[in-house]
Amino acid sequence: DTEVTQTPKHLVMGMTNKKSLKCEQHMGHRAMYWYKQKAKKPPELMFVYSYEKLSINESVPSRFSPECPNSSLLNLHLHALQPEDSALYLCASSRGAGGLGNEQFFGPGTRLTVL
Amino acid sequence: GNSVTQMEGPVTLSEEAFLTINCTYTATGYPSLFWYVQYPGEGLQLLLKATKADDKGSNKGFEATYRKETTSFHLEKGSVQVSDSAVYFCALSDRETSGSRLTFGEGTQLTVNP
């Protein structure tokens, strides 16, 4: 299994809602990532988990709250988002964090719209 | 710091044309280099990679060679197909200076017409 899965595929939420994005991989990877991608732009790193511990937070607003319940799962909890948070949210995983040639494998993304 | 510069798009080609997408990089360490492809409405897929100078990555007819002397990793394909229409991102990972971070170029939109 060389796949990263993400649910839901699409999400529409109001600014007062609480929702969660889910990511799963069964490749035995020990590093997992959340990215935000706006249209026609490259992905921007948000968070990195290494061995289930948060290792990088790229100064992301607290309305985004990541969680790594186990080595295969990564969640992103959303609360009180703004319309400018509308984007494609991508999850990725890699064998480790920062090793030589340690390529990241991406999921298909969740298209989030905040009304 | 690290940076990646890609040729500006969009690029429009006819089927069976030769493709080159230029990519140059700046890194303080010794990076690994990647090309990712993003088809419409999808996530990024790793297309190919190279981890040391003069390595050639190849996949699905695409090739790129890690050139340390020119700090380049240009993507080439001899004969493009309509199905190659996508956005292509050049990226680097420099574990010495940036750990897990991927530094991406701005992306190049490729459209192949029949």
Quote the minimal CA–CA distance from A19 to chain B in Å: 21
- Alpha-carbon dihedral angle through residues A27, A7, A69, A60, given to the nearest 10 degrees: 110
Amino acid B83: pLDDT: 96
Amino acid B96: pLDDT: 65
Stretch A100-105: mean pLDDT = 78
Q: What is the pLDDT of residues A51-61, one digit of tens each?
A: 899 998 999 99
Stretch B78-95: mean pLDDT = 94
Amino acid A110: pLDDT: 97
Chain B residues near residue A50 by CB distance under 8 angstroms: 100
What's the Cα-to-Cα distance from A26 to each of B14, B45, B58, rounded to whole Å? Answer: 39, 17, 26
- CA-based nearest residue to B78, from B14, B12, B20: B20
| B101, pLDDT greater than 60 | yes
Amino acid A97: pLDDT: 67
Tell me which residue in A41, A100, A107 faces B32 most closely, judged by beta carbons: A100
| B49, pLDDT greater than 90 | yes
Identity at A23, one-letter amino acid code: C
| A15, pLDDT greater than 70 | yes
Chain A interface, Cβ < 8 Å to B: 4, 6, 31, 33, 40-43, 45, 48, 50, 55-56, 90, 92, 94, 97-109
Chain mean pLDDT for chain B: 93
For residue A6, count other CB atoms closer than 10 A to its CB: 21
Amino acid A101: pLDDT: 59
- CB contact (8 A) between residue A98 and residue B105: no
User: What's the token pair of residue B3?
Assistant: 């940076």
Spell out the residues 6+ positions from residue A40 whose beta carbon is closer than 8 angstroms to its own. Answer: B107, B109
User: What's the token pair of residue B29?
Assistant: 């360490």
Stretch A13-28: mean pLDDT = 94
| B98, pLDDT greater than 80 | no
- CB contact (8 A) between residue B44 and residue A97: no
Stretch B64-81: mean pLDDT = 97
- CA-based nearest residue to B9, from B78, B103, B111: B111
| A20, pLDDT greater than 80 | yes
Amino acid A100: pLDDT: 61
